[in-house]
Amino acid sequence: MPHRCCDDGAAVSTPPPPSIRAAYDASAQAWAAGPASAYAALAEALVGASPLLVRGARVLDLGAGTGVAAVAASRAGASWLVGVDLADAMLRLGTGWDARTVAAAEALPFHDGSFDLVVAAFCLNHLPDPGAALVEVRRVAAAILASAFVRGWTHPAKAIVDSVAASYGFAVPSWYAESKTVAGDGVEDPTLLEALARSAGFTGVRVTTEDVDTGLSAPSELTAWRLGMAHLAPFVAALDAEDQARLRLDCETALASAPPLVVPMLVLAASG
């Protein structure tokens, strides 16, 4: 039977640093309007590549955001879906779960073995200690399906949009700069990611790479994708309407010859 610890969405575990939580809460609407479409394509590819049984499974959507992975798991036949994220505003925009709760990946408010499968779509790379999160995942579920960016991957839109935003006064938030130095250690390397999963207690571990075309190619789509990120969206929202429009137009002009957004995605499938 499904657990009952978070059906009302009210359970809360160890909170994130206020600046990070505030940034993701503040970016929820922009995320849904921009990055969510790219991450939806990535989530569909992640679930589609799974050697693990999704149909009929009780699934925890870890680092759920607005629920794109839950939607993919639901389409694959999951029987029960719970969303977990640090940003309540992101969760409140999602509709793909039977229940949702605010919690940290390293301290999940669920009983041992509450789930059959955890889906962690681009979640581990945001965590300061992904190994600890994987241990916690193994406690609450028998298997995990996770994705991460390949080490060193980037897209021209990242630098271009950030540079254009800087001309409007944008400065990289300290929490974001710090997270790039401490978060996701090991998860962008296939060998290290496999080792982390095995150290957490999983025995059947497989790491593969999938090249995913997100479907985003137009300058307007690439601009919305980047400006909707949590480190940029609060800055954009603080601009007046005229400057927001000018910023978007400048970004789109600068991205006129940018390539489509194709992401090389690491897929971790682990069980046992």
User: Rounded to an integer, what distance in angstroms lies between the CA atom of residue 54 and that of residue 79?
Assistant: 9
65-82 tens-digit pLDDT: 999 999 999 999 999 999
> Helical H runs in 110-154?
130-140
β-partners of residue 165 are none
Q: Comparing C-alpha atoms, which of 230, 235, 151, 222 is closest to residue 185?
A: 151
Helix (H) or strand (E) holding 156: helix 156-166
pLDDT of residue 2: 39
What's the whole-number mean pLDDT along residues 182-202?
A: 91
36-72 tens-digit pLDDT: 999 999 999 999 988 888 999 999 999 999 999 999 9
Sheet of strand 262-271, all strands in order from the earlier edge strand to the far edge: 99-102, 80-85, 58-62, 117-121, 143-149, 262-271, 204-213
Which fold, 18-153+184-217+259-271? Rossmann fold (3.40.50)
94-141 tens-digit pLDDT: 888 999 999 999 999 999 999 999 999 999 998 989 999 999 999 999
Alpha-carbon torsion (173, 174, 177, 178), positive or negative: negative
pLDDT band at 183 (very low <50, low <70, confident <90, very high): confident
Q: What is the pTM of this model?
A: 0.91
Mean pLDDT of the chain: 91
Token pair of 160 as six digits = 């271009």
148-176 tens-digit pLDDT: 999 999 999 999 999 999 999 999 999 88
User: Rounded to an integer, what distance in angstroms lies between the CA atom of residue 133 and that of residue 267?
Assistant: 17
pLDDT band at 184 (very low <50, low <70, confident <90, very high): confident
pLDDT of residue 18: 63
User: Rounded to an integer, what distance in angstroms lies between the CA atom of residue 116 and that of residue 272?
Assistant: 11
Helices (H) and strands (E) in the chain, counts: 12, 7
